[in-house]
């Protein structure tokens, strides 16, 4: 039976529950334990797939096709365990399951209630997700005191009773530093723990987010008023240099020893080895080169909308100690072909997205990259925009477009599969009223890389698996004209029906892919496409390959 560590938050949101849980999981993994993580989200959406990136940040996609909270991206970047459908659960999912059971008669005519039926569903989900692991970290979204999180908190309270010494509670709180008074205030933490205890949960560990280190006197005061041992009142400062510093910081505070002792895992745990994380931080700080990447998107004002992507770009520079500055460029600003914001960039990236807004700005940025031989990486919508740009300006199809932007375009180089299945390429049928949550190609899928292509060289193998999240595909009726004009179809689906990767043959570094490689990038391993992209940016900047950087 797995041990359970429940992670809750109080006072304010965005304290870093996900990062703290992931960092602790990384330490426990380094100590030889098999660890998984689960995010329980209180909102009523079944999943975040239809939510605006401005509201909730990116939608993270797992190998098995789950559209999940962005915290699962943190989990996979910190531990080797792969996440899936079972690692993210929402109130909407729980209630959907309960109502389906009620309709089937599974409850044998009982009155269906929050307790026990909803809480039992949550408990069953947690137990199922934890099966086969030594430790499962269970993060509860939101803030203690929110009405929507009460069923989850009640469920974990019950699990705490049922699991006994095999379960523990870790609570994150804010300990603000008031500059006017020049002192730390512990009252918000006291009230947050009081709120938690009022529903029957006594925290075993407090992670106190603070600008400055808590003194022994302050920790003792918090311990006294919260009934948490003083050694388990831990200062959680902002990361010194990088979020990948957090495992070492929590290790220095002795958090892993507290957890292992509390859960009785001494016999299973080995000595911690955080050398990988120290190396990541060292390469992040002690850089020898610096490049600037222009990221042209439509959600650039909201940093969480591209969380995995910005992390993957940073990972791409770690192998050769390249510091990457990301210039966030609103694609709408490029729609009138004013490209001044692209001046001085060493590479251009167009990420995924949906809808018409900003599309022409992306096309203009891609043309700039193609014509000026600037390294280019297009992801999902960034590949579709690259295909449109190539069709218009190289193949001579002036009105080419994607049907997502212009349903009436005469040259629909990108469209729904149903739009180009017949021999003429005309629309046979359009699914205008389809459910937005169930019409996409999702999850990890195999792709065969063309021998001799740059992508094949970067990956170093023929077959790859990458994660998708899109509806529209490259129109196969345009394969011949694209290839005749110098486009390389560098990757195809295993049945060769779908174009997955395109390259431009006479461009130094121009790759665009249908999938999202950022979802499989990690700080310890990087990703072939991002590593190649950032090194190409350095070559472009220098005009030649600098000494010490491997020729790819």
Q: What is the pLDDT of residue 425?
A: 42
Structure tokens, 499: 């174009």
The DSSP output letter for 420 is: S
Q: Are residues 497 and 465 in the same domain?
A: yes
Residues 6+ apart with CB under 8 A from 102: 112
Residue 100: inside a domain? yes
Residue ending a domain, among 221, 245, 279, is 279
Q: What element of type H or E holds 493?
A: strand 487-493
**Residue at 14 is within a domain:** yes
* Burial (CB count within 10 angstroms: exposed 0-12, middle 13-18, buried 19+), residue 429: exposed
Domain final residue, candidates 279, 314, 330 = 279
Residues forming the active site: 380, 516, 518
| Block residue for tokens 């030889």 | 32
pLDDT digit string (tens) for 19-51?
Answer: 999 999 999 999 999 999 999 999 999 888 888
Q: What's the pLDDT at 178?
A: 86
Domain CATH number, residue 486: 3.40.50.880
Low-confidence stretches of the chain (pLDDT < 70) are 54, 420-439, 544-552
Length of the chain: 552
Residue with tokens 């009230």: 191
316 and 198 housed in the same domain: no
552: in domain: no
Q: Coil, strand or helix: which one is 11? A: coil
Q: Quick check: helix, strand or coil at residue 429? A: coil
The separation between the first and the last C-alpha atoms of the chain, rounded to the nearest angstrom, is 47
pTM: 0.92
DSSP-derived secondary structure for 95-164:
HHHHHHHHHHTTTTTPPP-IIIIIHHHHHHHHHHHHTT-SEEEEEEPS-TT-GGGHHHHHHHHHHHHHHG
> 293 and 269: one domain?
no
Is 547 a member of any domain? no
Specify whether 98 is located in the same domain as 190: yes
Q: Does the residue 551 lie in any domain? A: no
Note whether 543 and 530 are within 8 A (CB): no
CA Rg value for the chain: 25
What is the pLDDT, as a whole number, of residue 550?
34
- 450 in a structural domain: yes
**What values do phi and psi take at 379, rounded to 5?**
-120, 120
Report CA-CA distances (Å) from 424 to 400, 472, 477, 497: 16, 18, 8, 17
Same domain, 333 and 224: no
Q: Which domain holds residue 163?
A: 3-279
* pLDDT of the residue at 302: 78
pLDDT score, position 301: 77
pLDDT value of position 247? 96
pLDDT for the residue 514: 96
Strands of the sheet containing 35-41, edge to edge, are 88-90, 35-41, 135-140, 3-9, 167-174, 205-209, 233-236
Number of structural domains found in the chain: 2
Peptide bond before residue 116 is cis, with ω within 30 degrees of 0: yes
> Are 536 and 423 in a shared domain?
yes
Q: Based on the fold, state whether residues 273 and 304 are members of the same structural domain.
A: no
Domain shared by 251 and 317, yes or no: no
> 296 and 271, same structural domain?
no
- CATH number of the domain encompassing residue 10: 3.40.50.300
- What is the pLDDT, as a whole number, of residue 241? 84
Residues 157 and 53 in one domain: yes
- The CA-atom distances, in angstroms, between 55 and each of 117, 299, 301, 471 are 30, 11, 12, 22
Considering the domain architecture, whether residues 95 and 234 belong to the same structural domain is answered as: yes
Percentage helix, strand, coil, to 5, in the chain? 40, 20, 40
Residue given tokens 């390259």 in the structure block? 503
Last residue of a domain, one of 234, 262, 279: 279
Residue 550 included in any domain: no
Q: Are residues 273 and 368 in the same domain?
A: no
């Amino acid at each position: 039976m797995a041990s359970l560590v429940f992670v809750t938050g109080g006072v304010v949101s965005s304290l870093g529950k996900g990062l703290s849980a992931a960092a602790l999981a990384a330490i426990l993994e380094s100590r030889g334990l098999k660890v998984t993580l689960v995010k329980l989200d209180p909102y009523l959406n079944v999943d975040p797939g239809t939510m605006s990136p401005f509201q909730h940040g990116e939608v993270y996609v797992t190998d098995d096709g789950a559209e999940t909270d962005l915290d699962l991206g943190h989990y996979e970047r910190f531990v080797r365990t792969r996440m899936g459908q079972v690692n993210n659960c929402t109130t909407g999912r729980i209630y959907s399951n309960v109502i389906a059971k009620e309709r089937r008669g599974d409850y044998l005519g009982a009155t269906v209630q929050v307790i026990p039926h909803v809480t039992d569903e949550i408990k069953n989900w947690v137990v199922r997700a934890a099966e086969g692991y030594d430790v499962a970290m269970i993060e509860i979204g939101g803030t203690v005191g929110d009405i929507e999180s009460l069923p989850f908190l009640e469920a974990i309270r019950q699990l705490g009773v049922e699991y006994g010494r095999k379960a523990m509670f870790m609570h994150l709180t804010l300990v603000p530093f008031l500059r006017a008074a020049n002192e730390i205030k512990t009252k918000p933490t006291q009230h947050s723990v009081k709120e938690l205890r009022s529903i029957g949960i006594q925290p075993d560990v407090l992670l106190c987010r603070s600008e400055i280190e808590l003194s022994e006197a302050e920790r003792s005061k918090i311990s006294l008023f919260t009934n948490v041992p003083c050694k388990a009142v831990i200062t959680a400062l902002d990361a010194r240099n990088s979020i990948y510093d957090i495992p070492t910081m929590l290790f220095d505070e002795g958090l892993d020893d507290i957890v292992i002792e509390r859960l009785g895992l001494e016999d299973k745990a080995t000595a911690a080895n955080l050398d990988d994380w120290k190396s990541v931080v060292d390469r992040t700080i002690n850089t020898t080169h610096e490049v600037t990447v222009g990221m042209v998107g439509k959600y650039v004002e909201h940093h969480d909308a591209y969380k995995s992507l910005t992390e993957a770009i940073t990972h791409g520079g770690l192998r050769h100690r390249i510091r990457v500055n990301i210039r966030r460029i609103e694609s709408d600003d490029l729609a009138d072909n004013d490209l001044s914001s692209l001046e001085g960039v060493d590479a251009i990236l167009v990420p995924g997205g949906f809808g018409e807004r900003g599309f022409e700005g992306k096309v203009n940025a891609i043309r700039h990259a193609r014509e000026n031989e600037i390294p280019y990486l297009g992801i999902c919508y960034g590949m579709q925009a690259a295909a449109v740009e190539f069709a218009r300006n190289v193949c001579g199809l002036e009105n080419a477009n994607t049907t997502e932007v212009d349903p009436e375009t005469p040259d629909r180089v990108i469209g729904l599969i149903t739009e180009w299945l017949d021999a003429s390429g005309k629309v046979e049928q359009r699914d205008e009223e389809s459910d937005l949550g169930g019409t996409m190609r999702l999850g990890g899928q195999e792709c065969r890389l063309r021998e001799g292509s740059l992508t094949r060289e970067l990956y170093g193998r023929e077959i790859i698996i990458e994660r998708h999240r899109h509806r529209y595909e490259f129109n196969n009726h345009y394969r011949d004209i694209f290839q005749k004009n110098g486009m390389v179809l560098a990757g195809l689906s295993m049945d060769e029906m779908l174009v997955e990767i395109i390259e431009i043959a006479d461009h130094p570094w121009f790759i665009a892919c249908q999938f999202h490689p950022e979802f499989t990038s990690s700080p310890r391993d990087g990703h072939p496409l991002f590593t190649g992209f950032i090194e190409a940016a350095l070559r472009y900047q220098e005009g030649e390959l600098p000494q010490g950087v491997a020729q790819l």
